[in-house]
Structure 1
Amino acid sequence: MSGIRALLGFERTVADLARTEAFYCGSLDFVREGVIGALPPGEAEILGLSGREVRCLTLRLNRQWVRFLEVDPPGAPYPAERDATDPIFQHFAIPVRDMAAAFARIDGVGRGPISRGGPQVLPASSGGVSAYKFRDPDGHPLELIAFPGGPAAARSAEVPGLFLGIDHSAITVTDLDAALRVLTGPLGLTIAGRGLNRGPEQGRLDGLDAPEVDVIALAPPVPAPHVEVLHYRRPERTRSAATAGPADRGSTRFVVEAEDPGAVAAAVQELGLSVTRAAEGRACFVTGPDGHGFLVRGPGRP
C-alpha cells in the first residue's frame, strides 16, 4: 500500500541546540521532550549523515513536535537573502489564541521579521486569517496565524496556552504540476483546499511587492498537521531552485508514516526522483522536485 498515513512531525537542522531550545521554548512555549541524543539507528545512513556526529533535540508544542539536528562537521549555513519565492523557504505555521499577545512575545527575537508592518489580516478571499512571518536564530522562517473560525480554529479550541501547535508546514515549489504529481501520487496526500492569494496584505505578509501565489492545502488521512504548497506566479524568481541537504542549516524535513515505505520508494523512483532506502526496507528518504525532504517511516518506528 503506497501513500502517507500520517504526518508525524518535522526535522530541522540548526547550528546550536542550546540556542534553538532557548528560542523555541522561551519565545514560543515549546517544551523539551526527553534528552539530547543521537539519531535512531539507520536514519543517519539514509539522510547521508554517516560519519558525522549528530545530536538531536525534540521539542513539542502541544500535539506536534519538531526534532532539531546539530551536525558536526556542519553543512552550509542558512543562505542569506532568500525570500518566500525560493524553495528553501519552508516554514511552520503556528496557530495562536491572541495575535497581539503572540506578536508582543516574539517581536525583536530571532533573526528578525519577514512581514512588513506587523501582523496582517488577509481578505476573506484568502481565508480572513491574521498572520505574521519572521525568522528563528538560524534564519528558518516561521509564521504565526490566527484563524477567524472554521475547522482549523476548532482543532485547537480546547488546547491550552497562547501558542497552540503546528497547523501545517508550507513549501514553495517552482513547478506546481510536478510537485502535485509527487505529493498526491506516491505520497498519497489529498487536496483539501486551494486558492489564489494576492493583494497588499499578502505582499506585506510575505515581504514582497505585489505577489500572486497559488495556495494548495494537502491533507494526510490524519488532518493535522498538513502540508501547504505555495506556488508564486509573481514576482518571478530570479534565482535557481535552492536545495539543502540534511546537514545544511537551510534544511527542514517532513517526518511521515506509511504502511509500506518500500512501496512509496518504488512509486517515487518511477517518477525519476531521488530516494534512499534503509537497509531493512522499513524507512526511506524522498527528495521532491525542489529538494524538499520526506523521511518516510514504517508503522511503529521511533
Structure 2
Amino acid sequence: MVNQTHIQVQKIRAIGLTVRNCGVSLNFYTQALGFELVADMIVADKDYSELEGVIDVEIRIVTLRLGDEIIELMEYINIDSRPIPNDSRSNDLWFQHLAIVVSDMDSAYTHLNSFPIQPISSAPQTIPVGNQASSGVRAFKFKDPDGHDLELIWFPPDKGQDKWHQNTNRLFLGIDHSAIAISNTEQSLHFYRDLLGMQLDSHSLNWRATQARMDNLPGAEVQITALRPIQGGVGIELLDYILPGKGRPIPSDWKSCDVANVQIQFVVNNLESLVDKLQQNGVEFVSSKIVRFADNLFPYKQGYLIKDPDGHAILLVAE
C-alpha cells in the first residue's frame, strides 16, 4: 500500500480554458501574447464526455505553448456555452487568472494595447516597498476575448523563479502561476497542501491604492498564499479578499462547457490512491470514475475531474 504522505501532485501539466471560438482565441494568444501552436484536434468520444461531466461532447482542443508552459483552448462545438458574467470582479469566487511573465513590462503593455483587450487594471502597477514578498513586482490585469482573466507580470532581479531572469530576446516568457479567488485560506490550504501535497511558497498581504488600481476594486485588501508542486514550475496563488470581502460564489450548475470554466491539470504520482483519499475527505467529483485513454493522441493516460472547496475545476491526470 502506498504511504498517503507520498501521494501528491508532481507538477501542473497544463491549464485549460473553455472558449467560444478556438480560431478567435488562437489568434489572440499567438499574436498578442506570443504563444505557439502545438496541436489542434477534435475530440468526440464517450470517455472524454465522462471525464468532463458533459453528455455527448464534441470538443476542439487547441494546445499552445509559451516557454515551458502549456494552455489548452477548449471549444464545445455542439453545445451552447454560457458566457462569463459581464460584471465579474476580482473578488468573485470564479475569478482565476493566468500570470504571464514578461521581460519588459512597458514594451509588453504597449504591444498588448494594440489588440482589443478589456483592461482590469488602470495601468501597470508596481507593488510598493512595504510588501516584502512582492515589492518591486510590476503587474497589469486584463481580459481575453472571452472574458478570461489574465495578468502580465514582471519580476525584479530578487524576485521570482530563476528562469525568469535568463537572458532572452523574447518579450513573453511563460506562465508563473494561476491565481484563484477563494472564500477561506485555511480551507483551501487543507485541499491544496494537505490533500494534494503542494508546498507553501510564500505569503503576502496586498493592499493600499496599488492593489485597488490593479484589481479595479476600491479599497482592495487581499491575503495571498502561493503554493507550488514538488517539481516546481507553474504554481497556484490563493486570493482571499479581506476587503471589499468575498464576491459571488461559483454557481453550482456551471459545467465544463461554460466559458467561465478554467481547469488546472495536475499530474499526480498515484491517481487511484489519491482519488480514494479525496473520496474519504468529501471532495466534490465531476467525473463518475477514473477515465482511461488508449488513444496515443491524448497527452495523458488517465484523468479524473474534481472541484476544489470553492468550485474551481481541477483535472487530476496520470501520464
Asked if residue 251 in structure 1 is aligned to residue 261 in structure 2, the reply is yes
Partner of 2:281: 271
Query: What TM-score comes out, normalization by structure 2 length?
Result: 0.88
Q: CA deviation at 1:82?
A: 1.1
Write the distance in 1 (CA, Å) between the matches of 2:302 and 2:109: 42
1:109 maps to a residue whose letter is: F
Partner of 1:138: 146
Partner of 2:297: none
Asked if residue 154 in structure 1 is aligned to residue 162 in structure 2, the reply is yes
2:277 maps to a residue whose letter is: A
Partner of 2:231: 222
Asked if residue 8 in structure 1 is aligned to residue 13 in structure 2, the reply is yes
Partner of 2:119: 113
Write the distance in 2 (CA, Å) between the matches of 1:279 and 1:8: 17
Contact preservation (8 Å) 2:207, 2:219:
yes
Write the distance in 2 (CA, Å) between the matches of 1:75 and 1:273: 26
Q: CA deviation at 1:215?
A: 0.6
Contact preservation (8 Å) 2:44, 2:58:
no
Write the distance in 2 (CA, Å) between the matches of 1:33 and 1:221: 26
Residue 93 of structure 2 aligns to a residue whose secondary structure is coil
Unaligned runs of 5+ in 2: 1-5, 293-300
Contact preservation (8 Å) 1:182, 1:268:
no
Write the distance in 2 (CA, Å) between the matches of 1:182 and 1:46: 21
1:222 maps to a residue whose letter is: Q
C-alpha change, 1:209 and 1:240, in structure 2 (3 Å) is same
Partner of 1:50: 55
- Which stretch shifts more, 229-238 or 41-50? 41-50
Asked if residue 32 in structure 1 is aligned to residue 44 in structure 2, the reply is no
Write the distance in 2 (CA, Å) between the matches of 1:233 and 1:193: 18
Write the distance in 1 (CA, Å) between the matches of 2:207 and 2:114: 27
C-alpha change, 1:295 and 1:238, in structure 2 (3 Å) is closer
C-alpha change, 1:52 and 1:279, in structure 2 (3 Å) is closer
After superposition, the CA RMSD in angstroms is 1.9
Asked if residue 102 in structure 1 is aligned to residue 108 in structure 2, the reply is yes
Write the distance in 1 (CA, Å) between the matches of 2:81 and 2:108: 32
Q: CA deviation at 1:70?
A: 0.3
Residue 222 of structure 2 aligns to a residue whose secondary structure is strand
Contact preservation (8 Å) 2:176, 2:235:
yes
Contact preservation (8 Å) 2:42, 2:58:
no
Contact preservation (8 Å) 2:249, 2:310:
no
Q: CA deviation at 1:161?
A: 0.5
Write the distance in 1 (CA, Å) between the matches of 2:44 and 2:270: 22
Write the distance in 1 (CA, Å) between the matches of 2:115 and 2:94: 21
Write the distance in 1 (CA, Å) between the matches of 2:136 and 2:279: 39
Partner of 1:296: 316
C-alpha change, 1:285 and 1:101, in structure 2 (3 Å) is same
Kindly report which structure 2 residues correspond to 1:60-139, keeping only aligned pairs within 5 A, or say none: 60-71=65-76, 72-107=78-113, 109-116=115-122, 118-124=123-129, 125=131, 126-139=134-147
Q: CA deviation at 1:241?
A: 4.0
- Which stretch shifts more, 276-285 or 73-82? 276-285
Residue 145 of structure 1 aligns to a residue whose secondary structure is strand
Query: What TM-score comes out, normalization by structure 1 length?
Result: 0.93
1:233 maps to a residue whose letter is: I
Write the distance in 2 (CA, Å) between the matches of 1:40 and 1:26: 32
Q: CA deviation at 1:236?
A: 1.9
- Give the count of matched residue pairs: 298
* Identity in percent: 29
Asked if residue 192 in structure 1 is aligned to residue 201 in structure 2, the reply is yes
Unaligned runs of 5+ in 1: none
Residue 160 of structure 2 aligns to a residue whose secondary structure is helix
Residue 165 of structure 1 aligns to a residue whose secondary structure is strand
Q: CA deviation at 1:186?
A: 1.7
Partner of 1:23: 28
Q: CA deviation at 1:152?
A: 1.8
- Which stretch shifts more, 99-108 or 19-28? 99-108
